[in-house]
Chains A and B, each alone.
Chain A
Amino acid sequence: MNKKIGFTCAYTPVPLIEAAGFSPFRIFPESKAPDQAGHLLHDNLCPHVKKVLDRALADDLPELEGMVFINSCDSMRRLADAWHEAKPDDPIILLDLPSGINSLSLDFLSKEYERLAKTLFKWNNEPFSTEKIKDEIAKWNLLAASVKKIEGIMSRNYFPGIASGLQEIINTAATDSTDKALVMAQNKIEPEKPAKGGQSPVFVFGNLLFDPKVYDLFEEWNMHVTASDFCTTSRFVTQVDTKADDNIFRSMAISYMEQTPCARTMDTTKPGNIAQKIVQRAKESNAKGVIVFTLKFCDPYLARIPMIRQALQKESIPFLMLEGDCTMGSMGQQQTRIEAFTEMLGV
């Protein structure tokens, strides 16, 4: 069993962790740990970050050899700060993630990814090896391709259980190993149950929705998830286009910046482009409606909701906004809204 490296953000390239001989361990905000984050962070802060910190404060984590933080948003920056207090002995690396996509930012991020790779190899006393990184990327890309195939099946027909099954695969890649996730994915490419009708096709997006049981609930509430865009679903399994650049780290930077459309990253030549991307994905997946699940206090998403709403309205695509902590605990509260939304959409 490899030693584990903790991380919290979808911009963390898992192949680098595995190439250095570690196992990835994404810290999901699921825990019965008591609410203690308020001792270190403001109460009006993203519940994802606070719950992850609760886990650290309550020692509700496996043994970690180090933590990788990305300063993707203010809350993530503060989490890295608080980690120093909560776990002063943990080795930590904080990567600077540019907000805009352009040649300079890609150069900068590629250096940051290289710094991460070298740090991880050093933490494991392993000689730095670009070959190992390339091998891991190849494996990761196989997983990404399998995930894409499953997503394609999801968007065409409603197969009960497929969405939660996909989430289990992705969670395995995030918290265990790409190899195991790959085996699971190859078994899932053929749906276990036949296609069914009678559900409302909905595209869901937002920050994170990681519990497979949530997707089963959605089905109970008459929803057919045609596609999803969360940092715990498609945004996490980013295909690395190795042909994008001769430098492997720049290829990674290009792939993560361009394919991982978290609201915090923008195409500066097209301000507000996230709204068009949401419309496009909803249409491509044959959805009749769109639901956003946002974490409370998540400025990057909340600030973009008005333009996303406008863009969807323009296309006459019904839109539902749900705010919470994106765990099963808060999902019950949303039942009436989701059911009413599917009743409104029809089949």
Chain B
Amino acid sequence: MTTFTPTTSDETLSTVAWAVEQQSPLEILGHGSKRGIGRPLQTEHTLDMSKLTHVTLYEPAELVLSAKAGTPLAEIEKLLAENGQQLAFEPMDYGPLLGGEPGKGTIGGVLAANLSGPRRLKAGAARDHILGINVVSGRGEAFKSGGRVVKNVTGYDMSKLMANSWGTLAVFTDVTFKVLPAAETEVTLAIRGLLDDAAVAAMAVAVGSSAEVSSAAHLPERIAARVADGALGSDAATLLRVEGFGPSVAYRITALKKLLGGAGPLQEIAGEVSQVIWRDVRDVRPFADFSEKPVWRVSMTPSQGHHMVLALRMQAAVSAFYDWQGGLVWLRMEEGDPQDALLRGLLRKHGGGHATLVRAAPAHCAALPVFEPQTPALAALSQRLKQEFDPKNILNPGRMA
């Protein structure tokens, strides 16, 4: 068991090339903050990318940042914040949910898992902000794709192909992201006491209005108390975030209040409390309980999420809350059984989408498909891509299986 810790792109290349030649699989690791997701690996060797660090280019006026893949996300976010900018897709931190430390994770991991957060609704995910990459494939070949400019259609968008590949196609050495100005002001409007169906209806109205709602989440009763140290109290909270320049935010909050006045009691939350609430929603704090109770991340048609949950409740004990206007459902299975067949069957019945078992006991992770199974044609196509880029199954073998 050897851990390789390259500090340069060249060392990364030669390590992978060596592993290819030895036909010796590697587990690709940053900080390991998402290590628990996917089928557990049993590789002889580990490629630890956490020492391949540094921001190599940051030009705020050009809205672009490049970094070596092992650069801590926290370091990048701090640098951006100092310049009034941010990664607008708001990458979540899986640490708390998976029982690890908060604030870990590398920028390479952000792309490999295509992370995003509540602002996904308006601003997209990592895949929408990646401009270019340098990687080493499972053939031991170093190559680049994309560039450092926002608008680029030169050749296939391999950066997107690599997003959400969980280290199974290539090892990232460099990533270049589009960065954006951080909002000057944020205010959250909370509608209190709604049941799921009323909440989903209210969120659809709000998000479809010209108030430019950047995030819309619904925390049912009891869940609401588990964010921001209980700042919301225990009544159900339907949260609408409005961001931008001060006068604009004030105007849009007023417009939303007019629009939703009849929906339920309204509450305005500003400043740091608002930020903490959204960070906790982003990081699934309500389920960060240091347990192994299975947690599912389900992406589906926003209007269908709560119907699926209702159907599920008739057959299993679950806790649930909603982000992305209802289209991102976080589920905790209270009885310890992941109920994958039941959940996936109901998901298909409610318009489809995909469910990922992000937390479970190791035995469940090993035995069940963690990621959504694909149709035969799509699975075959994905397999052919894996074969093209990692024919000897060197990189994170089986993780997405």
Q: Are A and B subunits of one complex?
A: no
